[in-house]
A and B are shown apart, each in its own frame.
Chain A
Amino acid sequence: MPHLLEAISLKRLFPVKKDGQTRQLHAVDGIDFHIAPGETVGLVGESGCGKSTLVRLLTRTLDPSDGQVRFRNRDIGLVRSRAMALHPQRKDIQMVFQDPTDSLNPRYTARQTIAESVRLLCGLRGAEAAARVEEAAGWVGLPLALLDRYPHQLSGGQKARVGIARAIVSRPALLVLDEPTAALDVSVQTVILQLLERLKQELQMSFLFVSHDLNVVRLLCDRVLVMYLGRVVEAGPTDAVFHAPAHPYTRALIASLPGGLAGGQASAADLLVGGDPQSPIDPDPNRCRLLGRCPRGLARCGEVGPQLEDIGGGRQVACHYPAVVQHVRQ
């Protein structure tokens, strides 16, 4: 099956001035991955690892320094982000933002927020546009009576629904969700997650789901990408990665979950040692980026930077000494 979206050696560097010298901050440092039609891919990693930069590159609100973003086999990375607003492909990649309170215009009613997408992305006006807005409200289970309310008159769960309706009203093929439930209570989170799952089936979208709640990623995603300091360190089917994490960083993430994971193989011995990550400014390419925090960390890790390699079962890992993986039955 052709990929819906594919990143090839995608890079984004930001120049930073320090002591009169210009150096490069490697926010996204050579990432390869793909999303198939209808697939849900989870993206996890700690803050500062480049998740948001990657998302901005894929949604084309930021231009890559190098590499390609291929969408339906065309390199949309070549379209400048400023021109992307008017690009016909704009409506095919949409985004749901983290905090529904911050990402909705406080002076727009829910109807106006959703209608703006219809007008700008679908080029519809009048009765046709109004029908689309109400259709989208129906998809997300937002009562029509609430459409004329302002964000401050809506509850957290209702605002989340408005944010989702705004994103899916143009029927995108790819929906990027940046921590869509982080600001919600568990009771509401459940409803929103189940809503997303249903919408994905009904509208046949692909999801890129960015989260640091591993439990949510585990339940929602088909495949998961683990990022560390601008690189993908592990990728694979969610069940396999969660039950038998191969990369020390993935193991640390899972060992950090309160209560652990039933049947998971990671334990307290896998927790990271030491404090903060290395600096993303001009990192040494011949050194593993986890070195210093990694509970393993051997001599070779300081001499050769590990590359992402296949380990079978659709899994990839960038580590010289990955944990021995027992393949989980599918």
Chain B
Amino acid sequence: MNALSNPLLEVDRLAVEFRTRGGTVRALENVSLALAEGETVGLVGESGSGKSVLSFAAMGIQDAAARITAGAIRFAGQDLLAKKGAAMKALRGREMAMIFQNPRVALNPIRQVGRQIEDVLARHTDLLPAARRARAIECLAEVRIPDPERRYAAYPFELSGGMCQRVMIAIALACKPRLLIADEPTTGLDVTTQAAIMRLVRELSAERRMATLLITHDLGMAREYCDRIAVMHAGHIVEVGPTEALFAAPRHPYTERLIAATPVGAASLAELAAIDGNLPDLRRADLPACRFAERCPRRGAECERPLALAPAGASSATHLIACHRPLTAAATEARHAAFA
């Protein structure tokens, strides 16, 4: 099912459930996604679509209520789901790292930021304390924090949001991981800071051939920074493809609606089209095969049949969709050409 011959991270037909008092939430179902070395892949979708559940599962830090009921996650050929706590801890922070959404919440408020970088180094390297300190300062400099020696001793509350996010990135990159998962890394930051942080992530990933999974609900950002984009809806990946192909000719009706609802590039407010309905309640026992069907303007009788990601056309092995009634490439291209 996947186009990459030798992926670094491979999520294979993963299913995750949450058992709650209100019933079982089928948060992810049949989710497959692969990332190659040096590649940046965007994961987009509305809140509640399962973007964070997927990334938490890949990092092995899912909620205690979560159960992985099917599928596999492989990292550099190793089966992550078979790994016990200690083996996973050895990998996490060293080979794979994550940047969380809100840096002020994710950082320890009563520990100097430099010490927090040292904590990662102490766990994963055998550097002596003096060398750790030097390396921590170097890490701060790598994320372009001015005056890193002084900032080493700062507490998170003494730094701006953008600076805190840089510290988060410094912690994530301290051991030069091969995979970085960035969960909404710039939400809540100013646009100027946003651009600076994203450029930094892009430069560092290029420098180190690091694979990056960028989780965002900002399509503009996904388009600017990602090589490929995966679109999630209600726990399914509905479309994956090279960024330009996906924006030029989205094939899944949900992707098309999502792009039409985004103000980036729209000429007027009237041109924006809202997406009808809401995400279906994932606790329902009668969830349809296509979870977008109830919101979909194109639904038909065949939409009740089982569904899986498949190539969008004979010529596009890298562009996959999960839809029985996709848009034709020509039709969407014409529409989007009119916008440009």
Name the one of B146, B161, B258 contacting A187, with C-beta atoms under 8 angstroms: B258
Does A256 count as interface, using CB distance less than 8 angstroms? yes
Name the one of B192, B261, B275 contacting A272, with C-beta atoms under 8 angstroms: B192
A215, B269: Cβ atoms under 8 Å? no
Chain B window 263-287, contacts with chain A (Cβ cutoff 8 Å), 1 for yes, 0 for no: 1111011101111001000000000
Residues of A within 8 A of B191 (CB): 46, 212, 214, 253, 256-257
Please measure, in the bound complex, the distance between the C-alpha atom of A191 and the C-alpha atom of B258, giving whole angstroms.
Answer: 13
Name the one of A188, A255, A275 contacting B146, with C-beta atoms under 8 angstroms: A275
Does A52 count as interface, using CB distance less than 8 angstroms? no
Does B219 count as interface, using CB distance less than 8 angstroms? yes
Residues of A within 8 A of B264 (CB): 215, 257-259
Which residues from 154 to 213 on chain B have a C-beta closer than 8 Å to any C-beta of chain A? Answer: 160-163, 190-196, 198
Please measure, in the bound complex, the distance between the C-alpha atom of A259 and the C-alpha atom of B198, giving whole angstroms.
Answer: 13
Does B225 count as interface, using CB distance less than 8 angstroms? yes
Q: Which residue of B lies closest to A47 (CB)?
A: B190
Does B95 count as interface, using CB distance less than 8 angstroms? no
A252, B220: Cβ atoms under 8 Å? no
Residues of A within 8 A of B194 (CB): 256, 258
Q: Which residue of B lies closest to A257 (CB)?
A: B191
Name the one of B160, B217, B268, B278 contacting A219, with C-beta atoms under 8 angstroms: B268
Please measure, in the bound complex, the distance between the C-alpha atom of A262 and the C-alpha atom of B336, giving whole angstroms.
Answer: 14
Please measure, in the bound complex, the distance between the C-alpha atom of A5 and the C-alpha atom of B183, giving whole angstroms.
Answer: 42
Which residues from 150 to 192 on chain A have a C-beta closer than 8 Å to any C-beta of chain B? Answer: 155-156, 185-191
**Which of A155, A156, A218, A259: most chain B Cβ within 10 A?**
A259
Please measure, in the bound complex, the distance between the C-alpha atom of A186 and the C-alpha atom of B283, giving whole angstroms.
Answer: 24
Which residues from 237 to 295 on chain B have a C-beta closer than 8 Å to any C-beta of chain A? Answer: 257-258, 261-266, 268-270, 272-275, 278
B269, A219: Cβ atoms under 8 Å? yes
Tell me how far the C-beta of A52 lies from the nearest C-beta in chain B, rounded to whole angstroms.
14
Q: Which residue of B lies closest to A185 (CB)?
A: B46
Which residues from 190 to 205 on chain A have a C-beta closer than 8 Å to any C-beta of chain B? Answer: 190-191, 193-194, 197
**Which of A155, A216, A256: most chain B Cβ within 10 A?**
A256
Does B330 count as interface, using CB distance less than 8 angstroms? no
Name the one of B162, B219, B274 contacting A190, with C-beta atoms under 8 angstroms: B274
Does B221 count as interface, using CB distance less than 8 angstroms? yes
Which residues from 58 to 93 on chain A have a C-beta closer than 8 Å to any C-beta of chain B? Answer: none
Interface size class of B (residues with CB under 8 A): 35 or more
B220, A194: Cβ atoms under 8 Å? no
Residues of A within 8 A of B160 (CB): 48, 276
Q: Which residue of B lies closest to A275 (CB)?
A: B146
Which residues from 117 to 157 on chain B have a C-beta closer than 8 Å to any C-beta of chain A? Answer: 144-146
Which residues from 26 to 77 on chain A have a C-beta closer than 8 Å to any C-beta of chain B? Answer: 46-48
Does A96 count as interface, using CB distance less than 8 angstroms? no
Q: Beyond A216-B263, A259-B264, is A187–B46 a contact (Cβ under 8 Å)?
A: yes
Please measure, in the bound complex, the distance between the C-alpha atom of A214 and the C-alpha atom of B191, giving whole angstroms.
Answer: 9
Residues of B within 8 A of A213 (CB): 263
Q: Beyond A216-B263, A219-B266, is A186–B219 a contact (Cβ under 8 Å)?
A: yes
Please measure, in the bound complex, the distance between the C-alpha atom of A222 and the C-alpha atom of B194, giving whole angstroms.
Answer: 26
Q: Beyond A212-B190, A259-B223, is A194–B161 a contact (Cβ under 8 Å)?
A: no
Chain A window 253-294, contacts with chain B (Cβ cutoff 8 Å), 1 for yes, 0 for no: 101111100100000000110111000000000000000000
Please measure, in the bound complex, the distance between the C-alpha atom of A302 and the C-alpha atom of B298, giving whole angstroms.
Answer: 61
Name the one of A47, A187, A257 contacting B257, with C-beta atoms under 8 angstroms: A187
Chain A window 203-241, contacts with chain B (Cβ cutoff 8 Å), 1 for yes, 0 for no: 000000000111110111000000000000000000000
Residues of A within 8 A of B218 (CB): 258
Tell me how far the C-beta of A171 lies from the nearest C-beta in chain B, rounded to whole angstroms.
23
Please measure, in the bound complex, the distance between the C-alpha atom of A155 and the C-alpha atom of B167, giving whole angstroms.
Answer: 34
Q: Which residue of A lies closest to B257 (CB)?
A: A187
Please measure, in the bound complex, the distance between the C-alpha atom of A310 and the C-alpha atom of B275, giving whole angstroms.
Answer: 42
Residues of B within 8 A of A220 (CB): 269
B274, A194: Cβ atoms under 8 Å? yes
Please measure, in the bound complex, the distance between the C-alpha atom of A252 and the C-alpha atom of B219, giving whole angstroms.
Answer: 20
Q: Beyond A47-B190, A155-B278, A253-B192, is A258–B269 a contact (Cβ under 8 Å)?
A: no
Q: Interface of A with B (CB < 8 Å)?
A: 46-48, 155-156, 185-191, 193-194, 197, 212-216, 218-220, 252-253, 255-259, 262, 271-272, 274-276
Q: Interface of B with A (CB < 8 Å)?
A: 46-47, 144-146, 160-163, 190-196, 198, 217-221, 223-225, 257-258, 261-266, 268-270, 272-275, 278, 340
A-B pairs with the 4 shortest C-beta distances?
A256-B195, A258-B224, A46-B190, A187-B275
A-B contact pairs, 11 of them (CB 8 A): A46-B191, A155-B278, A186-B217, A197-B269, A214-B191, A215-B263, A219-B263, A220-B269, A257-B195, A258-B225, A276-B162
Beyond the given pairs A186-B263, A187-B46, A272-B192, 10 more chain A to chain B contacts, judged by CB atoms under 8 angstroms and listed by A's residue number, are: A46-B192, A156-B47, A185-B47, A186-B261, A187-B275, A219-B272, A253-B192, A255-B195, A262-B265, A275-B144
